[in-house]
Chain A
Amino acid sequence: MRILILSLALFFTCAPFTCGSSFGQAPDARETPRPHSTESLEEELEHQMEGKGHKEVHGERDFFWMEYQRQPWRNPQEQRRMLKILLAWLILDAILVLYVFFIRKVRVRGKVP
């Protein structure tokens, strides 16, 4: 019961901070065009992905908009990065499976008691 009360208290304290997307920080892209921007978002995004930092567009620093654009389900660059990570884990898993189920078994079997 104590855990339950603690969790509920934690939830009601944290919920307003975690529900960011419906508080108007990330507006609906179909309805609200980005104000005063003449450059494409992709161009700006590439600029930031290259590590040059956030590019100031007309003196406006709309961090939340950038954050919204970088959602992995929405951004092809993030998806490519995700594929690379996926490949890395696949290789790592294959090595571990080989070690746990084959190499180690052979080594254990070959030991003289």
Chain B
Amino acid sequence: MRPANIWQIGRLTLCEWTRKKVFYMFFIVALAFFGLAFTLNFFNLGPQARFTMDLSLTAMGLFTAILSLGLSLSAIPQDLENKTAWCLLSRPVSRFDYLCGKFLGTVLLILIILSILTVELVVVTFLKENRLHWTILQAGLLLWVESLVLTAVVLTFSLPFSPPMNAAFSSFVYAVGHLSSTYIQALSQESRNVAGGIPVLLLKLALPQLQYFDLKSAVVQGYPVPLGYTGEAVLYGLLYALMVLLLGELLLSRKDL
């Protein structure tokens, strides 16, 4: 593993993504949505700022998920189809470097876009309420960490599965990962006496706990989130993404190119 190789492939991937125009459209729509959200008048109920923050953070989460899914879904299959992966791998570049490079390029693009959207939301909230909501920055950071996990999962799934199957499996992981512990607890209680208990338990342990990255209610209710918690969640996301990438490397090393 060479960090210089990973950085170069990541830079190339980032350049490749910036040439795709459809994502600029997404970005501009999201930017305009956040900016205009405060001009909407929700029946003059009063807590407009809360509602708008909730809506904006939900939009950010969905936008990040769509972006990481849309970008990483075709990243490796497209390279294999265009045979650009062969040119790269014929040089002294290991397959793990290639996988990590693709991952790095994708998450860098998401980081750039999320930073702009988060700063915009902080500024717009400040202009409306005259106080800074620092929790929005933490929520933005954790959304990015969530995108790390999702990108790693989609990239790894793109090795054994075709893009449509990959999209279905990754969406499932995203949806189940967001189920809160209450629902999983209820599921495991219901299936305690039957053979279904073991799959539920495995599901609970193996799938990413994406609700750890959801600070929406903290932002909306105005509660401070401890920095220790944010650190733990970031560490969890990094460890999970690393594990999935290592599994991806095992799959890629056995793949017949």
A binding-site residues for B, Cβ under 8 Å: 1, 3-4, 7-8, 10-11, 14-15, 18-19, 21-22, 26, 28-29, 48, 51, 53, 66-68, 70-74, 78-79, 81-83, 85-86, 88-90, 92-93, 96-97, 100-101
Contact = CB atoms under 8 A, between A and B. Distances in A.
B18 interface: no
In order of increasing CB-CB distance, the 8 nearest A-B pairs are A22-B54, A21-B217, A96-B246, A89-B239, A19-B54, A22-B51, A21-B220, A22-B50
B236 A86 contact: yes
Nearest to A26: B217
Given A86-B235, A86-B236, A96-B246, A73 B54 contact: no
Interface residues of B, number: 49
A35 B1 CA distance: 59
A4 B176 CA distance: 24
B212 interface: yes
B16 interface: no
Interface string B51-77: 101110011001000100010000000
A79 to B, nearest CB: 7
Contact of B58 (A19, A68, A79, A81): A19
Contacts of B229: 72-73, 79
Contacts, number: 106
Interface of B: 1, 22, 25-26, 29, 47, 50-51, 53-55, 58-59, 62, 66, 70, 96, 180-182, 185, 189, 205, 209, 211-212, 215-218, 220-223, 225-226, 229, 232-233, 235-236, 239-240, 242-243, 246-247, 249-250
B70 A11 contact: no
A100 B249 contact: yes
Contact of A1 (B22, B182, B218, B250): B22
Given A4-B22, A89-B236, 4 more contacts: A18-B62, A28-B221, A67-B182, A93-B239
Contacts of A53: 189
B241 to A, nearest CB: 10
A90 B233 CA distance: 13
A85 B209 contact: yes
B246 to A, nearest CB: 4
B243 A3 contact: no
Contact of B232 (A11, A22, A83): A83
Nearest to A75: B181
B180 A89 contact: no
Contacts of A8: 29
Nearest to B236: A86
Contact of B217 (A1, A68, A85, A92): A68
A83 B233 CA distance: 9
A4 B25 contact: yes
A91 B158 CA distance: 26
Contact of B242 (A10, A72, A79, A93): A93
B189 A51 contact: yes
A55 B215 CA distance: 27
